[in-house]
Structure 1
């Protein structure tokens, strides 16, 4: 009887301790998520990580789940806590492999958390890669999708080397459907074109190639960046405006460049101390939360439907694809994008580029096309 009572008390105590331990995990996670810039909350976060590091493997999924909604600094702290707990679990042979795989396969979870879970899982189960990665070709996680794309590229190269051109082409095409990183896209497009395939990279990436453009307006002594010229107040594509060098009108332009680059200096004129306005329509079938991804070496501002979204007053930083990413909510139907580009008066050879590329993409990087109604043929404000 005494022994039974003792065992019952032990079980109750174990249950209480387990509950406290689970509560403590959530409390420490909450402390970590309060960390802010300039060291605010660092001491509390450090203490919380030390505490979490002593938790058992049951804390792994709660830690990963907490990545959602956490700021980047907090995520870094959470990564440290997860890695410490995971290392102990692996050493003890208690890593919850099935739960980690389930977490990875759930696309609603934070991409960085899913990647961390994947890298942890394959440390103890290398075969998990072949179960998981093939299904990630269109995954919202950039890194998991990249692995899936690379797997298909490697497969296609082998098939091509073995003389199986049709199978290789099919593998390359499947890889392209999920590729968003430029290096991988180039590795896919080159062999596909050599196999006779026509690839529309503008369409693949979601570049806008048809624009209306007006200018130049005055940017001598850099005064044009903060000057609200008429296009910022009212978009009227039929009206002539007073520009830097006389009367200016909107003109339709387009680019056939694979990466949607429009070169103002080459296609129009190498203006110095100048402002140009560029406008394009994007048609959305419904409300969409997407990104405008811009590359330019010039100072710029961007509006959608008359609302200023972002601006950067910096010249000649260089230009790369997806240099800037601006979140935007497109309304159903037509949306008007207005881009203001400013060129300064520097005369050095490296300061002569006056160009831009702009595409619409999902946060994952996959391009999104404008779904223009067939009956609409002209850009209107």
Structure 2
């Protein structure tokens, strides 16, 4: 009697896939504070030993856990590709490319897919990159945009202007935008940077309130309880009331030193009305080197009780949901006691955009 090995082979395959799934889940379960690191160290070796065949399954769990988990998975993916190339093993580049092109996958997973594709098959990644200029993941656009900038630099004046304007349509990163705008302004082409980025420029501000001994960050001053633009409150040195302030900085910086003076150990607030044309998900992106908090429609989003660590555009990305019509954005900004010259900044910049960094522009405020 001749026995078939087919059921046994199938059983082994199912068992191997189950073991891989368990190992990948152990990596995906690592917490922000490192919970699960011990199990992950064992699982990492098992995933890497599985080899190139595990890459599609690995990509499928990226972006579904913590950033620490994604780091474990990224390192495992890198190791698999490096080992495969060293040993002359075939890599599933077609599957990785297909994963990259499916925009339904989480951004961290698609970023990893592109990085692995570059490692595994640089020529293939090079051919794919130009198509990412309008990708919904901001980081994936960068290489494609740089190609447009580099190409524009090789052209004569009129053709270069057209090329730079095309690049401006898709650029989202500050440094690349600056490079493009510099070239366009050399040709006297006007560029509205606040509109391009979606910076909020018109605010109502109030202050100063107290921040002695850095207690202002946690102190609930009246603007956190109510937004009444006609109200007057007790401030640090006397009565304070709301006043209009329009930023003159094309990168949207609101400098509290201008309406209130060069003060220390103080707190101030700024509020803006953002008219959304539709209900939608969005991001409020903030740059600030002082202590800050942000609320949207009375709901606290996030805050940082830190001072003078440096400031950059899009330093903090706060996911939020806009309602159709009026949305109230409230920012609290605290200045501490330090006297050094590099601590005088008491400011922030804020913009509203989507996940790719594309500006969401406010509709005109309805007439009252």
TM-score of the pair, normalised by structure 1: 0.88
Q: Give 3-state SS (helix, strand or coil) of 2:90's partner.
A: coil
Among 291, 294, 298, the residue aligned to 2:290 = 298
Partner of 1:331: 323
Partner of 1:81: 76
- Give deviations 1:92-134, integer Å, cap 9, x for gaps: 4421222121111111223333233323334454432343111
Partner of 1:250: 242
In the alignment, does 2:128 pair up with 1:136? no
Q: Verify the 8 A CA contact 1:295 1:323 in the aligned structure 2.
A: yes
TM-score of the pair, normalised by structure 2: 0.91
Give the 3 Å change call, closer, same or farther, for CA 87–220 of structure 1 in structure 2. closer
- How is 1:49-128 mapped onto 2 (pairs within 5 angstroms)? 49-90=44-85, 91-128=87-124
Counterpart-to-counterpart distance in 2, 1:123 and 1:300: 40
Counterpart-to-counterpart distance in 1, 2:83 and 2:311: 45
Partner of 2:37: 42
Counterpart-to-counterpart distance in 2, 1:326 and 1:243: 29
Displacement after TM superposition at 1:278 (Å): 0.8
Counterpart-to-counterpart distance in 1, 2:115 and 2:35: 30
- Structure 2 residues without counterparts, runs of 5 or longer: none
- Structure 1 residues without counterparts, runs of 5 or longer: none
Counterpart-to-counterpart distance in 2, 1:320 and 1:59: 38
Q: Provide the alpha-carbon RMSD of the alignment.
A: 2.2
Q: Verify the 8 A CA contact 1:138 1:177 in the aligned structure 2.
A: no
In the alignment, does 2:344 pair up with 1:352? yes
Counterpart-to-counterpart distance in 1, 2:310 and 2:33: 29
Partner of 2:222: 230
Counterpart-to-counterpart distance in 2, 1:302 and 1:118: 34
- Give deviations 1:137-181, integer Å, cap 9, x for gaps: 12133332100110101111111xxx2x23222221222222222
Displacement after TM superposition at 1:192 (Å): 0.9
- Give deviations 1:253-296, integer Å, cap 9, x for gaps: 10121101122213442233322221101122233222222222
Structure 1 runs, 4 residues or longer, greater than 6 Å off: none
Q: Give 3-state SS (helix, strand or coil) of 1:127's partner.
A: helix
Larger Rg: 1
